[in-house]
Amino acid sequence: MTSFEADIRPLFREKDRNAMLRHFDLWSADDVRRNAERIYGALDRGVMPCDGAWTAADKDLLRRWIDEGAQP
Ligand code: HEM
């Protein structure tokens, strides 16, 4: 089972968190869960982060975390 603290939070850099704080806190499991589909959608389309797309493996990990119920 994937967890936010162990698997997902480390994928978000401090610059990602700072860039997006006006919308949500990428270091908060609650915020990422609440905005999960928007966040996944931007990553999947490759429009975010603004300085380079995630790998397929990292996107798959986020997808699995969401599908497993977005555990803290
Ligand atoms: C993993 C990292 C990131 C994720 C998941 C992410 C996610 C998102 C999402 C979901 C939106 C759409 C917000 C909405 O629905 O209104 C957005 C907008 C935006 N993001 Fe990111 N972002 C990330 C990193 C960054 C970085 C590194 C930058 C560069 C400075 C950035 C700059 C922006 C900008 C300029 C917008 C336009 C919306 C606004 O700020 O009003 N993001 N991002």
Please identify, by atom number, the ligand 1 atom nearest to the C-alpha of residue 43: 5
CB 61 within 8 A of CB 6: no
The ranges assigned to domains in the chain are 4-66
Residue 3 neighbours by CB under 8 Å, 6+ apart: 65, 71, 72
pLDDT in tens, 4-27: 999 999 999 999 999 999 999 999
* Mutate which of 9, 23, 35 for ligand 1 pocket (most atoms within 8 A of beta carbon): 23
Do you know the residue count of the chain?
72
pLDDT in tens, 19-67: 999 999 999 999 999 999 999 999 999 999 999 999 999 999 999 999 9
Residues with CB under 6 A from ligand 1: 12, 15-16, 19-20, 23, 38-39, 42-43, 48-51
